[in-house]
Amino acid sequence: MQRGLDSQTKKQLEEEEKKIISEEHWYLDVPDLKEKESHIIEERSFLRCEDLVYGRMSFKGFNPEIEKLMIQMNSKCKEEEIEEDDKMEADVSDEEMARRYETLVGTIGKKFLRKRDQRVLKDDDEDDEVEEGNSNPRPSKRAKKMFLKPQD
Amino acid sequence: MAAECGTAAEALVGQVVLPGDLLLLPAHYDEDAESERLRLSAGAAPQGRLLCGPGLRRSGAGLLVTKCGLLRHRPAGGGAYWVDSQQKRYVPVKGDHVIGIVTAKAGDVFRLDVGGSEPASLSYLAFEGATKRNRPNVQVGDLIYGQFVVANKDMEPEMVCIDSSGKSSGMGIIGQDGFLFKVSLGLIRKLLAPKCEIIQELSQLYPFELVLGMNGRIWVKAKTIQQTLIIVNILEACEYMTAEQRKQALAKLSGNR
């Protein structure tokens, strides 16, 4: 019953506790055990020990996605061969890319020209056509369609 | 009990070992001081750590056998020893790919039966492309192919259907139809070995799809029910057939087709 305790008895109790609990209380009197460096790892899974294939399989084209997956997963084991091959198979060859880019730059560039420059460009094109001898040189400016009055 | 002196591990590779046998490892794996001396003298000292696989336990000087079976050894990657034993009951192990059957939906989590002592839990967010609004369409009774992310004797096993990069890579709900049956765990490991003859011979028969779970469950699907059942019967029986008997059986089948 702590309510009945005087302040004096409380102080006495605290001092007694402090005497008992000293620094030594927190350290066990046991020599340090040297931790053995172990070179053995315990493993409960067969996957790390044996070379097991991926569990999902498909044969003779029954499920084409799984067949693609099979090739992908089973080739992951042979990573060394893949790493040596740095070149990735490209869908488009380098030459085609170069050709595309040549014309691409011009096309995109035209988009951002101002109107005056566009007209100049078009005149040049038309002059070229005339020189080559094309038929019907078109007027550079299309005739604006005027409102036609109804002919009674 | 008197302490048994063990035999060298290398001598018993490929032979039957019984629980209680002590395997002594070559001196490379002993205390540091000794191993340094030996490394200088010995030619090829295996680097890295030795893997002590299922059926073996580390004990003092060497490895203690805890299951009966054949002792196997793999010298690559630091070396590994394990016991090739046969059992039908599956114990969940982290990283294993298994087939589970959905038994209940409890809020955000599915309960799956994987053949272990406890049902495994699978969160609905553990599928590829699943968000809180975009939930996967999983019903009770569906088959799911996933891997364990937590599996020890103190906690309930947890499964996921995505790998560490967030891709499903073949895991998830297994489709409609097909046939699920159970075999022993040893057969599964035999079938999953690279270049397994059984699988190669079966693949010549009909087009079919196969999912092998490490918990002893196999799911097969072929074009007709008859073909599916034929494959199921072969897989169940090939555990106890020799290679010749199996080839005879398959020859009969391809003849009758």
Amino acid at A20: I
Are residues B212 and A57, on separate chains, in Cβ contact within 8 Å?
A: yes
* Closest among B176, B177, B226, B238 to B202, alpha carbons compared: B238
DSSP state of B207: -
Whether complex ipTM tops 0.85:
no
Are residues B170 and A56, on separate chains, in Cβ contact within 8 Å?
A: yes
Q: Is the pLDDT of residue B198 over 70?
A: yes
Ordered alpha helix ranges (H), B137-204: 185-192, 197-203
Cα–Cα distance between B172 and A125 in angstroms, integer?
60
Task: Evaluate whether B53 touches A43 at the Cβ level (below 8 Å).
Answer: yes
Residue B98: count other Cβ atoms within 10 Å of its Cβ. 27
Å between A61 CA and nearest CA of chain B: 7
Residue B36, C-beta contacts closer than 8 angstroms, at least 6 positions apart = none
The residue among A53, A59, A60, A79 with the most chain B CBs within 10 A of its CB, best to mutate, is A59
Residue where the block lists tokens 């005027």: A146
B19-34: per-residue pLDDT in tens?
A: 998 888 776 544 444 4
B107-147: per-residue pLDDT in tens?
A: 889 999 999 999 999 999 999 888 999 989 999 999 999 99
Phi/psi region, residue B195 (left: phi>0; alpha: psi -120 to 50; beta: rest), is left
B208-223: per-residue pLDDT in tens?
A: 999 999 999 999 999 9
Q: What is the mean pLDDT of each run of 10 residues along chain A (152 residues)?
A: 74 84 67 69 84 88 89 71 52 82 84 76 58 47 73 76
Task: Please give the pLDDT value at position B209.
Answer: 93
The residue among B23, B25, B82 with the most chain A CBs within 10 A of its CB, best to mutate, is B82
Cα–Cα distance between B87 and B32 in angstroms, integer?
38
Residue A119: count other Cβ atoms within 10 Å of its Cβ. 13
**DSSP H or E stretch at residue B222:** strand B217-222
B175-189: per-residue pLDDT in tens?
A: 888 999 999 999 999
Residue in B63, B207, B214 closest to A62 by CB: B207
Structure tokens at A53: 């294939």
Cβ-count burial of A128 within 10 angstroms (0-12 exposed, 13-18 middle, 19+ buried)? Answer: exposed
* Closest among B218, B154, B158, B161 to B188, alpha carbons compared: B218
Local structure of B125: helix, strand or coil: coil
